[in-house]
Amino acid sequence: MQKLGLTGQSKQPHASDDQMKGISAVLMDGDEIFIDNNAIHAKSRVELGVRFVGSLEEVPNPRRIVGLWISLKRFENGMGFNGVQAFEMWIDSEAQLGYKKLADHVNAMDKAVKGKADLSLLSPEQIEKFAAFLRGLRPDLWENASPAFREAFSAA
């Protein structure tokens, strides 16, 4: 990524590209769950070719796609899942229109990087499906997960 040639410097700490290297996106589209880290830059396979509009009412036949921003951290016992935040978007692939609250996605990514966990956008069934996927994906990361991560999935 190119740096902007700005003349001033901010004294406020902010997320750098390095902080975003430890985050991943896991999406659920219907019954399919898959990792798509292009979602970090709003270019997941479900977003490609989609024009995002200002309100859900502008999307003719929206389907809800939910996802997780997940961060990793090295703990005493090794690398483990750390933060997790749910997010959603609504897509009509045929009309090539979609709706999402970009600010919510960015804030959720930031919270996941900081190790916070919130799955309140998901149903218990969705939480269970994500839990099964993550357990099977890398059991070591699941076993070494942070207490907050474990608590968020406690219903699963």
Asked if residue 123 belongs to a domain, the reply is yes
Asked if residue 1 belongs to a domain, the reply is no
Asked if residue 51 belongs to a domain, the reply is yes
- 28-82 tens-digit pLDDT: 999 999 999 999 999 999 999 999 999 999 999 999 999 999 999 999 999 999 9
Asked if residue 8 belongs to a domain, the reply is no
- The partner residues of 25 in beta bridges, in order of sequence, read 69
Residue 36 and residue 65 in contact, taking contact as beta carbons nearer than 8 Å? no
- 3-39 tens-digit pLDDT: 333 333 334 444 444 555 679 999 999 999 999 999 9
Per residue, the 3-state secondary structure of the chain, as one string, reads CCCCCCCCCCCCCCCCHHHHCCEEEEEEECCEEEECHHHHHCCCCCCCCCEECCCHHHCCCCEEEEEEEEEEEEECCEEEEEEEEEEEEEEECCCCEEECCHHHHHHHHHHHHCCCEECCCCCHHHHHHHHHHHHHHCHHHHHCCCHHHHHHCCCC
Q: How far is CA 92 from CA 66, 112, 142, in A?
A: 14, 27, 33
* Structural domain of 112: 22-152
Neighbours of 144 (CB within 10 A): 20
pLDDT at position 5, please?
35
The angle formed by the CA atoms of residues 108, 113 and 119, to the nearest 5 degrees, is 45
Asked if residue 117 belongs to a domain, the reply is yes
Asked if residue 12 belongs to a domain, the reply is no
How many structural domains are present in the chain?
A: 1
Mean pLDDT, the chain, whole residue set: 88
Asked if residue 5 belongs to a domain, the reply is no
